[in-house]
Chain A
């Protein structure tokens, strides 16, 4: 990409203009993002309330560890991550179906993305209504004489988690399908045509050609999904389970909110926020590594 040569925008006036252009977003970023980030780091080591702070070193972290909260949160976040393979496999198959470019595929693509424009609250409440004890799903199961499957979905941690996960997958899969389709569109047509000539069937083409050729896209999207499941579950959990029953569906991100705004344990909330930030940071660095590897390979 061509950056403009030095002839342009030199001289005092332009220097002033450039400063004026960049100053507002710099100020905003420092006050709204950088300062709070430093503040969270610091307060993770303190006992913090509105009246003041006392430094307690690693107290918050050891409290979280000792009370078993941290283990519980990690367990819950790991359960959420189980959704990722399901999400990827399902979206890949749907993308592959669309890739055939059969009747109406462009319209299907538009319909599949629809849930992504709904808010997590709307989706969450919809799912809560749908999976309620006397809700439409159980009604349908009773109608089909499948009484065994009629359970109070939201009253147990395990089934409540399933509802949250399905809601998240449903809201995200349109995006995944679009990304995978974009990846598939880079596959040269003659490769697949050759495979057809050699007698490879539909499934073989999927597993032997399409899948290996978009493995880079899958890797990239998997890391995006991990970040999404770590940082974008709030609305779903808030509206479907409120973290319950007990704390059985409370994730790291939801606990940051509960500690800060429900139990007034600001220091512990900051410690959890620090942990969340570090996890995301590590994942991002990892993403860049993957990308670099891809670059070398190409």
Chain B
């Protein structure tokens, strides 16, 4: 079936694919070229290349918009959440995959059924709860909530992965006198590493870009994440488009870089994990 097409048709297909690819690449180029322009030059022609490169926007982002602090907040919140998520879920997934206890099936179903709750449903009661605990505008609040919302998928993902670890390895470790947690540390974690890396990448992109919860729980500029910061601070002053585009570009850099590095690896993972049918 493949490549039964004549050259003309092949060229047409590749051309169509190129056009579509241009639409996904162009916005990045658009942000990049305009980030070097000042407002007056942008108005003259947003689609043109800058006549001279100006770093004004970057300087403003650094000095007035405290872009470093926003980055820092995002990094702390995202990495802490993912650390707790992977630590707690790998521990639980180990029990679900390799131990036997009463009510295991029901408990597992309970956790993965949480996947269907959209968090917009939960945000108001959570807000009231954290307001009573005086935790609004703290990174801790967001870390706790992010960790919890990541649990269902992570538990499901890691449990299915840990199940493929052969029982014989664990059995022989037991015979050698390894304790329950010793087996977790020296067998489960090393073998499950690639699953945990995949999880880390998916969750990093997801949390870095998360908006609703960050918007609600971090209202002061000091604690905002970069995504919420860009949404609110730049939204307020969006009449300066090149400055806004600079902010958008800077906020997307981490995920774009990670994606470029792991794209091939991720493609495999997504395709393998996808549906059968």
What residues of chain A have their CB less than 8 Å away from a CB belonging to chain B?
1-10, 13-15, 17-18, 21-22, 24-26, 28-29, 31-37, 39-40, 43, 50, 94, 97-106, 108-115, 117-123, 125-126, 128-130, 134-136, 139-140, 170, 174-175, 178-179, 181-183, 185-186, 189, 192-193, 195-196, 202, 205, 214-217, 220-221, 230-231, 234-235, 238-239, 253, 256-257, 260-261, 266, 269-270, 273-274, 276-277, 280-281, 284, 294
Please, what's the 1-or-0 string for B109-121, where 1 marks a CB less than 8 Å from any CB in chain A? 0110010111011
Given A121-B251, A125-B235, 7 more pairs with CB closer than 8 A? A8-B170, A15-B101, A29-B152, A120-B211, A125-B234, A230-B118, A257-B212
Minimum C-beta distance from A174 to chain B (A): 7
A135 pairs with B46, CB closer than 8 A = yes
Identify which of A175, A186, A221 contacts B276 (C-beta below 8 A). Answer: A186
Minimum C-beta distance from A123 to chain B (A): 8
Known: A37-B121, A178-B267, A231-B118. Contact between A261 and B100, CB under 8 A?
no
Closest to A230 in B: B118
A17 pairs with B100, CB closer than 8 A = no
Alpha-carbon distance A286/B54, docked complex (angstroms) = 55
Identify which of B96, B155, B174, B251 contacts A119 (C-beta below 8 A). Answer: B251
A4 pairs with B99, CB closer than 8 A = yes
Alpha-carbon distance A2/B163, docked complex (angstroms) = 7
Closest to B10 in A: A102
B120 pairs with A257, CB closer than 8 A = yes
Inter-chain contacts of B101 with A (CB < 8 A): 9, 15, 18
Known: A17-B180, A28-B88, A273-B120. Contact between A113 and B263, CB under 8 A?
yes
Q: How many residues of B contact A (CB 8 A)?
A: 102
6 intermolecular pairs with C-beta atoms under 8 Å apart: A4-B99, A108-B17, A120-B209, A122-B251, A130-B30, A234-B212
Counting chain B CB atoms within 10 Å of each CB, the highest count among A29, A134, A186, A214 belongs to A29
Minimum C-beta distance from A95 to chain B (A): 11
What residues of chain B have their CB less than 8 Å away from a CB belonging to chain A?
1-5, 9-10, 13-14, 16-17, 20-21, 23-25, 27-28, 30-31, 43, 45-47, 88-89, 91-92, 94-96, 98-101, 107, 110-111, 114, 116-118, 120-129, 131, 144-145, 147-149, 151-152, 155, 163, 167, 170-171, 174, 180-181, 205, 208-212, 215-216, 227, 230-231, 234-235, 238, 241, 244-245, 248, 251-252, 255-256, 258-259, 263-264, 267, 270-272, 274-277
